C-alpha cells in the first residue's frame, strides 16, 4: 500500500538515484544477465515517467514551470523512443550497447535538469502537505502499473509525440 507521507520531490530524487544505479548495473552486467536487468530498469523508468506525466507535471504546471515541463516531456519522449528500440534488440548486440549508453546519458541529464531547475521551483510553489499528497498518488499509480506486469510494453505505443501538458 502507498505511503501517503512521501514527499513527491524527495520520492522522485530517490527514484532518480535508484534508476541510475539500475542502469549502471545493466551496463556492467554479463550478457546472460543483461536482458532481465534491462527489463527491470525499463519497467522502473516507465513507471517513473508515467507518474510524472499523469500526476506530478499537471499538478506543478504554472507559468514559472511551463518551459521546464515542456522540455521534460520532450526528454521523456526521447527516453521512450530509446526504450522502445532497446526492448526490440538483443542485449548482446553491439548496437544495444551504443543505444543503451545514449539512454543512460539522457536519463542522467534529465534527472539533473529536474533536480536543478524544476524541483527547486516546485518546493517554493507547493507546500509539504501537497507534495506528500502528490507523492502518495504517484506511488499508488506506480504500484498499480507494477501489478499489471511489464509496464515497459506500453512504451512502444507512446513514441509518436510527447505527452500533453494540461
| Assigned domain for 103 exists | yes
Q: Which three cell numbers stand for residue 121?
A: 521551483
| Assigned domain for 142 exists | yes
| Assigned domain for 157 exists | no
pTM of the entire predicted model = 0.88
| Assigned domain for 25 exists | yes
Q: What total number of domains does the chain contain?
A: 1
Q: What is the spatial distance between Cα 140 and Cα 138, in angstroms, rounded to a whole number?
A: 5
| Assigned domain for 163 exists | no
| Assigned domain for 155 exists | no
| Assigned domain for 160 exists | no
Nearest to 85 by CA among 72, 67, 69, 97: 97
pLDDT at 5: 66
Q: At 4, is the pLDDT very low, low, confident or very high (cuts 50, 70, 90)?
A: very low
pLDDT at 3: 43
| Assigned domain for 153 exists | no
Write the pLDDT tens digit of every residue in 135-161.
999 999 999 999 987 888 888 889 998
Roughly what angle, to the nearest 10 degrees, separates helices 94-113 and 66-87?
Answer: 160
For residues 71, 40, 155 and 131, what is the CA-based torsion angle, rounded to 10 degrees?
-50
Q: What is the spatial distance between Cα 68 and Cα 58, in angstroms, rounded to a whole number?
A: 12
- Determine the structural domain holding residue 33 and report its residue range: 8-148
Write the pLDDT tens digit of every residue in 87-102.
999 998 889 999 999 9
Q: What is the spatial distance between Cα 105 and Cα 89, in angstroms, rounded to a whole number?
A: 19
Give residue for cell 541529464: 109
Q: What is the mean pLDDT of residues 119-124?
A: 93
Amino acid at each position: 500500500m502507498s505511503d501517503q507521507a512521501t514527499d513527491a520531490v524527495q520520492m522522485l530524487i530517490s527514484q532518480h538515484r535508484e534508476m541510475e544505479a539500475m542502469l549502471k548495473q545493466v551496463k556492467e552486467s554479463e550478457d546472460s544477465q543483461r536482458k532481465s536487468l534491462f527489463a527491470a530498469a525499463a519497467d522502473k523508468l516507465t513507471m517513473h515517467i508515467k507518474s510524472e506525466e499523469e500526476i506530478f507535471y499537471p499538478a506543478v504546471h504554472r507559468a514559472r514551470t511551463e518551459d521546464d515541463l515542456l522540455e521534460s516531456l520532450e526528454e521523456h519522449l526521447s527516453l521512450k523512443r530509446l526504450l522502445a528500440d532497446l526492448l526490440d534488440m538483443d542485449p548482446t548486440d553491439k548496437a544495444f550497447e551504443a543505444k543503451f549508453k545514449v539512454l543512460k546519458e539522457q536519463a542522467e541529464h534529465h534527472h539533473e535538469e529536474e533536480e536543478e531547475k524544476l524541483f527547486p521551483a516546485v518546493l517554493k510553489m507547493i507546500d509539504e502537505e501537497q507534495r506528500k499528497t502528490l507523492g502518495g498518488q504517484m506511488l499508488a499509480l506506480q504500484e498499480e502499473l507494477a501489478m499489471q506486469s511489464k509496464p515497459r510494453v506500453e512504451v512502444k505505443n507512446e513514441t509518436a509525440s510527447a505527452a500533453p501538458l494540461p
